[in-house]
């Protein structure tokens, strides 16, 4: 039996075993077991194809998916194997895309990119990511920067990350956000692009909390030209994560 057939056999056996046991185990036990299956699956794939080193499930595009890490000298071989169809009847179902596609997808999903929407000067509370701080850590705040987080949790924050739908040219990182008068600067775009799914420009940025309510009318400055922008709830495009 070829390594490809062995790999497919192991994958489907692991999947159906996980599905079968889900009827007899608690949800937490099932998650632990499935995590073990995924880890075993990643290890088996590494052994069989001698290519894959790490398999992750980040969901950074707003959809379920996998992130595969491989040594640079094996990347072309893996890409060709995936583009061959991976055993599907229609190989055209598998297509290449680049970082530009990933960036527009994660932006449509309202997900942050470190260096743009997050940095050492922006806290999780300001970014609307308080949920990423565990309850124990929120209560204790015994970590680097915890004193700042504790104060923000108690007193609130002065700025908020917001979504924007804008006209004109797509607003990019560092573009100014202004009041409707077009002269008073109130914030800055952190990420922005044209949304292929929506057919309009979307962006994220930080503004004072009094301008962060959905529906607030603002303007953005792109290469010296002003365009209307509306504060919009995120995600811009609904996420489709499998939640069980």
Q: Are residues 113 and 81 in the same domain?
A: no
Q: In this structure, is residue 130 part of a structural domain?
A: no
Q: How many domains does the chain have?
A: 2
Q: Are residues 220 and 165 in the same domain?
A: yes
Q: Are residues 201 and 223 in the same domain?
A: yes
Q: Are residues 167 and 82 in the same domain?
A: no
Q: In this structure, is residue 143 part of a structural domain?
A: no
What is the predicted pLDDT for the residue at 196? Answer: 94
- Is the overall model pTM greater than 0.85, yes or no? no
Residue pair 204/197 in contact (Cβ under 8 Å)? The answer is: no
Q: Are residues 8 and 81 in the same domain?
A: yes
- Give CA–CA dist 122/206, Å, rounded: 10
- Give CA–CA dist 68/70, Å, rounded: 6
Q: In this structure, is residue 129 part of a structural domain?
A: no
Q: Are residues 77 and 11 in the same domain?
A: yes
Nearest to 189 by CA among 110, 108, 116, 81: 116
Q: Which two tokens stand for residue 50?
A: 């001698």
Reduce the secondary structure of the chain to three states and give it as a string. Answer: CCHHHHHHHHHHHHHHHHHHHCCCCCHHHHHHHHHHHHHHHHHHHHHHHCCCCEEECCCCCCCCCCEEECCHHHHHHHHHHHHCCCCCCCHHHCCCCCHHHHHHHHHHCCCCCECCCECCCCCCCCCCCHHHCCHHHHHHCCCCCHHHHHHHHHHCCCEEEEEEEECCCCCCCCCEEECCCCCCEEEEEEEEEEECCCCEEEEEEEEEHHHCCCCCEEEEEECCEEEEEEEECCCCCCCCCCCC
Q: Which two tokens stand for residue 197?
A: 């799914």
Q: In this structure, is residue 31 part of a structural domain?
A: yes
Nearest-10 crossing angle of helices 27-49, 3-21: 180
Distances (CA, A) of 177 to 2, 48, 203, 220, 235: 58, 52, 11, 5, 20
What is the predicted pLDDT for the residue at 87? Answer: 59
Q: Which domain holds residue 197?
A: 107-122+156-232
Q: Are residues 114 and 53 in the same domain?
A: no
What is the predicted pLDDT for the residue at 12? Answer: 59
Q: Are residues 112 and 36 in the same domain?
A: no
Check which CATH number belongs to the domain holding 118 and give it: 2.40.30.110
Q: Are residues 114 and 201 in the same domain?
A: yes
Q: Are residues 29 and 87 in the same domain?
A: yes
Q: Are residues 14 and 33 in the same domain?
A: yes
Return per-residue pLDDT of the chain as tens, 244 residues: 544 455 556 555 655 555 554 455 444 444 444 444 444 444 444 444 555 567 777 778 888 777 888 888 888 888 887 788 655 667 677 788 888 888 999 999 999 999 999 999 999 999 999 999 999 999 999 999 999 999 999 999 999 999 999 999 999 999 999 999 999 999 999 999 999 999 999 999 999 999 999 999 999 999 999 999 999 999 999 988 777 6
User: Rounded to 10 degrees, what is the CA torsion of 59, 204, 120, 179?
Assistant: -170
Q: In this structure, is residue 56 part of a structural domain?
A: yes
Q: Are residues 182 and 90 in the same domain?
A: no
For 183, what's the count of Cα atoms within 13 Å in the CB-facing half-sphere? Answer: 1
Enumerate the β-bridge partners of residue 206.
Answer: 161, 188
């Amino acid at each position: 039996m070829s390594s490809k057939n062995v790999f497919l056999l192991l994958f489907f056996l692991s999947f159906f075993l996980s599905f079968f046991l889900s009827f007899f185990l608690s949800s937490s036990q099932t998650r632990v077991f499935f995590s073990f299956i995924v880890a075993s699956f990643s290890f088996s794939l590494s052994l069989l194809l001698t290519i894959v080193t790490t398999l992750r499930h980040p969901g950074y595009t707003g959809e379920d998916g996998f992130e595969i890490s491989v040594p640079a000298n094996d990347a072309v071989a893996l890409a060709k194997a995936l583009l061959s169809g991976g055993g599907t009847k229609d190989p055209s179902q598998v297509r290449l895309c680049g970082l530009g596609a990933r960036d527009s997808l994660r932006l449509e999903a309202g997900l942050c990119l470190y260096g743009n929407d997050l940095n050492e000067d922006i806290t999780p509370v300001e970014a609307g990511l308080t949920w990423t701080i565990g309850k124990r850590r929120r209560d204790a705040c015994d970590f680097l920067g915890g004193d700042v987080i504790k104060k923000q949790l108690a007193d609130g924050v002065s700025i908020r990350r917001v979504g924007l739908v804008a006209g004109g040219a797509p607003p990019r990182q560092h573009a100014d956000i202004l009041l409707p008068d077009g002269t008073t600067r109130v914030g800055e775009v952190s990420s922005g692009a044209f949304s292929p799914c929506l057919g309009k420009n979307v962006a994220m940025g930080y503004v004072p909390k009094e301008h962060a309510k959905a529906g607030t009318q603002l303007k953005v400055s792109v290469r010296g030209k002003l365009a209307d922008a509306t504060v919009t709830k995120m995600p811009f495009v609904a996420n489709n994560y499998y939640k069980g």
